[in-house]
Amino acid sequence: MIPFNNLKSQYETLKEGINRNIQKVLDHGHFIMGPEVDELEQLLSRLVGAKNCIACSSGTDALLLALMAKGIGPGDTVLTTPFTFIATAEVIGLTGATPIFADVDDKTFNLDIQSLCRAIALCKKSSHRLKGIITVNLFGLPCPYDEIIPLAKKEGLFILEDAAQSLGAVYHGRKSGNLGDVGATSFFPAKPLGCYGDGGAVFTDDDQLAEIIRSIRIHGKGKDKYDNIRLGLNGRLDTLQAAILLAKLESFPKELEERNEIARRYSDALASVVQVPSVPEHCRSAWAQYSIVTDQRDALKEYLEKAGIPTAIYYPTPLHLQGAFKDLGYQAGDFPVSEEASKTILSLPFSAYLTEKEQDLVTSRILDFFHDY
Ligand SMILES: *Cc1c(COP(=O)(O)O)cnc(C)c1O
């Protein structure tokens, strides 16, 4: 069986550093907001090129912290894509605001600019108080910020970059996490940079916003945690998770290179039989997933499963059709590109630790499927 996401091999490779860092925390005993959290924030802020990094309890909480700090609440509307993980739109609803969707591009599966413009026009005609856009860099590929940033400026909207899948990605030389007004990432184990539990981080160049986020992260603290100047969360990152991330961060740049090389090899082998990911010239993806598109998706998935090759579907139901959002009144057919993608997309085994032999097995089985078909 080929591993879908090879965390085991990664641990075998990085074991010494990870174990040493964990032991250090067990020895010093500062399990909450220990020195590793501070060190991690400094290194990540340099990696992303953002003035501020605020480590927190998950990618979901990173998004929520950003929206809360922006003062988003009842009566507000925030635009996003329906072709993403539930968390992206869930946090909008949790603040009391209303999520509004716009469709994605059929090659990148990131927000489509025409669809965004249409959604904004619709908001203007209604009573919606549109405040911002959450851009999702799906599968690690940055959105078309060259188009989105001028549009957001013109309309007076903030951009919250959902960089949960794209830490390490680059857009025109700028790092993902700092492509909007505020960025949120996740350290869920399967993300490009993952810890061994839940974790996340918020990035921003805005010092004032960063101060509010730091306060909300610890129950809305003022001078100290028993001075509470606003409502907040228990949103900290554990010291142990920070220590694990510090050990993994050393090999992260090399892993990103390897992810790009493995993606290139997949695309070279598969471009003749399926739609392979398209990466615009000025982008470097972090390759959170390597996803192909084929109208034989379900048959291919079953065929590969029988051959011991696990695959995954991100995402089987676009968010506008989820039960959690049924009150928004969307219907099948509202976002045809997202709906079609949910039926045709398939993510292949992928990690920096996928061996050439394993990869050749995946690609040869896929080619077999299309030749037998
Ligand atoms: C993983 C993910 C999140 C949520 O991150 P968690 O750390 O699991 O809370 C949010 N948005 C996207 C696009 C994700 O892939």
CA nearest 149: which of 171, 168, 121, 129? Answer: 171
The rounded distance, in Å, linking the Cα atoms of 72 and 75 is 9
**Residue 163 CA, ligand 1 centroid: distance in Å:** 8
**Residue 279 CA, ligand 1 centroid: distance in Å:** 22
User: What pLDDT does residue 313 have?
Assistant: 98
Atom of ligand 1 nearest to the CA of 188: 7
DSSP states of 159-197? EEEE-TTTTT-EETTEETTSSSSEEEEE--TTSSS--SS
Q: Which residues line ligand 1 (CB under 6 A)?
A: 58-60, 84-85, 87-88, 136, 162, 164-165, 186, 188, 198, 200
Sequence-distant (6+) residues with CB within 8 A of 285 are 139, 140, 141, 142, 166, 169, 260, 263, 277, 279
**Residue 128 CA, ligand 1 centroid: distance in Å:** 26
The identity of residue 105, as a single letter, is: D
Q: Is the dihedral of CA 85, 86, 89, 95 positive or negative?
A: negative
**Residue 141 CA, ligand 1 centroid: distance in Å:** 15
CA 22 to chain centre: 26
Atom of ligand 1 nearest to the CA of 199: 7
The identity of residue 45, as a single letter, is: S
**Residue 357 CA, ligand 1 centroid: distance in Å:** 31
How far are the Cα atoms of 35, 287, 366 from residue 30, in angstroms, in the given order? 8, 34, 50
Instruction: Tally DSSP H helices, then E strands, for the chain.
Output: 12, 12
pLDDT in 10s for each residue of the chain, 373 residues: 899 999 999 999 999 999 999 999 999 999 999 999 999 999 999 999 999 999 999 999 999 999 999 999 999 999 999 999 999 999 999 999 999 999 999 999 999 999 999 999 999 998 889 999 999 999 999 999 999 999 999 999 999 999 999 999 999 999 999 999 999 999 999 999 999 999 999 999 999 999 999 999 999 999 988 999 999 999 999 999 999 999 999 999 999 999 999 999 999 999 999 999 999 999 999 999 999 999 999 999 999 999 999 999 999 999 999 999 999 999 999 999 999 999 999 999 999 999 999 999 999 999 999 998 6
The SS3 assignment for 202 reads strand
The identity of residue 312, as a single letter, is: A
Atom of ligand 1 nearest to the CA of 187: 7
Atom of ligand 1 nearest to the CA of 138: 13
Atom of ligand 1 nearest to the CA of 137: 13
Please give the model's pTM, rounded to 2 decimal places. 0.98
Question: How buried is 219 (Cβ within 10 angstroms: 0-12 exposed, 13-18 middle, 19+ buried)?
Answer: middle
Question: Residue holding tokens 């074991």?
Answer: 15
**Residue 373 CA, ligand 1 centroid: distance in Å:** 36
